[in-house]
Amino acid sequence: MLWLQALLFGLVPFCASKPLLPRWDDFQVKHAWVEMPRGWELHGPAPADYRFNLRIGLKQARIEELIAALYEVSDPAHDRYGQHLSKDEVDVLVAPHSDSADLVESWLTAHDIDTNAYHRSGGGDWLTVEVSVSEAERMLGTQYNVYRHSGSDDYVVRALNYSLPSILHEHVAVVAPTTYFGTIKSMKKTSFLQPHIPTIESDTDIASLLINPGSLATVPSSCSTTITPSCLRALYNTTSYTPTATAVNKLGICGYLEEFANFADLQTFFERFRTDAVGSNFTVVLVNGGENSQSEPGVEANLDIQYADGMSFPTPNIYFSTGGSPPFIPDDNTPTNTNEPYLDFLNFILAQSDVPQTFTTSYGDDEQTVPLDYATSVCNMFAQLGARGVSIMFSSGDDGVGAGDCLSNDGTNTQRFQPNFPASCPFVTTVGATFRVPEEGISFSGGGFSNYFAQPSYQSTAVSAFLTKLGTTNAGLFNVSGRAYPDVSAQGEGFQVVIGGRVESVAGTSASSPTFAGVVALLNDFRLANGNAPLGFLNPLLYSTGAAGLNDITSGSNPGCDTNGFSAGTGWDPITGLGTPDFGKLQALIG
Active site residues: 300, 304, 510
Beta pairing class for 251-255 and 358-361: parallel
Nearest-CA neighbor of 574 among 378, 441, 384, 425?
441
75 labelled binding-site residue: no
Which amino acid type is present at position 206? I
| SS3 per residue for 218-270 | HCCHHHHCCECHHHHHHHCCCCCCCCCCCCCCCEEEEECCCCCCCHHHHHHHH
* 154 marked as binding residue: no
Buried b (16+ CB within 10 A) or exposed e, 409-418: beeeeebbbb
Label the pairing between strands 502-507 and 440-441.
unpaired
Q: Establish whether 397 is an annotated binding residue.
A: no
Between CA 115 and CA 105 the distance in angstroms is 7
The 10 Å Cβ neighbour count of residue 405 is 11
Q: Is 373 annotated as a binding residue?
A: no
Distance of CA 475 to the CA centre of its chain: 28
Q: Are 393 and 519 in contact (CB under 8 A)?
A: no
d(CA 240, CA 39): 48
Angle, nearest 10°, between helix axes 63-74 and 372-387?
Answer: 50
Tell me the three state secondary structure of residue 35. coil
Q: Give the residue among 385, 347, 392, 361 at the shortest CA–CA distance from 254.
A: 361
Contact 501, 262 (CB under 8 A): no
Q: Give 3-state DSSP helix, strand, coil % of the chain, rounded to 5.
A: 30, 25, 45
Distance, CA of 161 to CA of 137 (rounded, Å): 11
Residues in the chain: 591
List CB contacts of 74: < 8 A, sequence separation 6 or more: 81, 386, 536, 537, 538, 539, 540, 541
| CA atoms of 44 and 408, how far apart (whole Å) | 26
Q: What is the CA radius of gyration of the chain?
A: 25
Cα separation of 141 and 282, whole Å?
A: 46
Which residues, listed in sequence order, are joined to residue 391 by a DSSP beta bridge?
358
Bridge partners of 41, per DSSP, are 148
DSSP state of 332: B
Q: What is the DSSP letter of 165?
A: E
| Contact residues for 200 (Cβ-Cβ < 8 A; gap 6+) | 222, 226, 228, 496, 503
Q: Cα–Cα distances in Å, from 141 out to 30, 50, 135, 178, 180?
A: 10, 17, 10, 11, 17
Coil, helix or strand at residue 572:
coil
Annotated binding site for Ca(2+): 552-553, 571, 573
Binding-site entries: 552-553, 571, 573
